[in-house]
Structure 1
Amino acid sequence: MPALPPTPSTRRASAPPSCAETLATLRQELASVRPANCPALPFDLPEIDGQLADAGLDSSGLHEVAAATASLNDDAAATLFLAGVAGRFATHPNSTMLWAVTAFDLYAPGLEQVGLNPGKVLYGQGRKDAEVLAMAEDALRDGSLACVVAEVKAADMTATRRLQLAASDGQTPMLLYRRHRSREGCPLRTPSSAMTRWRIGCLASERLPWPGVGRARWQVELVRQRNGNPFTLELEACDAEGRLALPASAADRAAAQERAASHAA
Structure 2
Amino acid sequence: MSASPFRAARLAALRDEIARIETAGRAAEGAVLPFGIAEVDARLAGGGLALAALHEAAAAGPSPTDDAAVTLFLARLAARAAMMRVGGQVLWAQTRRDLFAPGLAQAGLGPERLLHAECRNDEEVLAVLEEGARHGSLAAIIGEAGRVTMPAARRLQLAAEEGGTSVLLLRRWKKLGADPLALPSAAVTRWRLAAAPSAPPPYGIDPLQGMGRARWRVMLVRQRGGPPHEWLLEAPDAEARLNLAPGSGDRPDQAGRAHRIAA
8 A contact 1:88–1:242 mirrored in 2? no
Picking from 160, 171, 193, the partner of 1:178 is 171
Taking the TM superposition and a 5 Å limit, the aligned residue runs for 1:74-223 are 74-91=66-83, 92-208=85-201, 209=203, 210=205, 211-223=209-221
Q: Quick one: distance in 2 between partners of 1:37 and 1:132?
A: 26
Residues 86 and 36 (structure 1), Cα distance of their counterparts in 2 relative to 1, 3 Å cut = closer
Q: Quick one: distance in 2 between partners of 1:119 and 1:57?
A: 24
Residues 171 and 78 (structure 1), Cα distance of their counterparts in 2 relative to 1, 3 Å cut = same
The number of residue pairs the alignment matches comes to 217
Q: Does 1:59 align with 2:74?
A: no
Unaligned runs of 5+ in 1: 1-34, 252-265
Residues 172 and 241 (structure 1), Cα distance of their counterparts in 2 relative to 1, 3 Å cut = farther
Unaligned runs of 5+ in 2: 1-26, 250-263
TM-superposed CA distance for 1:37, in Å, is 6.3
Other-structure match for 2:254: none
TM-superposed CA distance for 1:193, in Å, is 0.2
SS at match of 2:45: coil
Once the two structures are superposed, residues 87-123 of structure 1 have per-residue CA deviations (whole angstroms, 9 ceiling, x without a partner) of 1011134111110001121011110011111221110
Q: What TM-score does the superposition give when structure 1 sets the normalisation length?
A: 0.78
TM-superposed CA distance for 1:197, in Å, is 0.3
Query: Counterpart of 2:225 in structure 1: which amino acid?
Result: N
Q: CA RMSD in A?
A: 1.5
TM-superposed CA distance for 1:183, in Å, is 2.1
Q: Quick one: distance in 2 between partners of 1:241 and 1:181?
A: 33
Picking from 221, 225, 228, the partner of 1:227 is 225
Q: Quick one: distance in 2 between partners of 1:120 and 1:102?
A: 20
8 A contact 1:236–1:244 mirrored in 2? yes
Query: Counterpart of 1:203 in structure 2: which amino acid?
Result: A
Q: Quick one: distance in 2 between partners of 1:240 and 1:147?
A: 22
Query: Counterpart of 2:68 in structure 1: which amino acid?
Result: A
Once the two structures are superposed, residues 44-80 of structure 1 have per-residue CA deviations (whole angstroms, 9 ceiling, x without a partner) of 1121111111210100000001001100000001000
8 A contact 1:83–1:242 mirrored in 2? no
Larger Rg: 1
Once the two structures are superposed, residues 150-193 of structure 1 have per-residue CA deviations (whole angstroms, 9 ceiling, x without a partner) of 00011110110000000000000000000002122321111100
8 A contact 2:62–2:176 mirrored in 1? no
8 A contact 2:173–2:179 mirrored in 1? yes
SS at match of 1:84: helix
SS at match of 1:140: helix
Other-structure match for 2:60: 68
Residues 77 and 99 (structure 1), Cα distance of their counterparts in 2 relative to 1, 3 Å cut = same
Q: What TM-score does the superposition give when structure 2 sets the normalisation length?
A: 0.79
Q: Quick one: distance in 1 between partners of 2:28 and 2:231?
A: 30
Other-structure match for 1:248: 246
SS at match of 1:77: helix
Query: Counterpart of 1:90 in structure 2: which amino acid?
Result: A
8 A contact 1:66–1:200 mirrored in 2? yes
SS at match of 1:215: coil
8 A contact 1:85–1:242 mirrored in 2? no
Does 177-186 or 190-199 show the bigger shift? 177-186
Q: Quick one: distance in 1 between partners of 2:50 and 2:240?
A: 17
Q: Quick one: distance in 2 between partners of 1:50 and 1:214?
A: 27
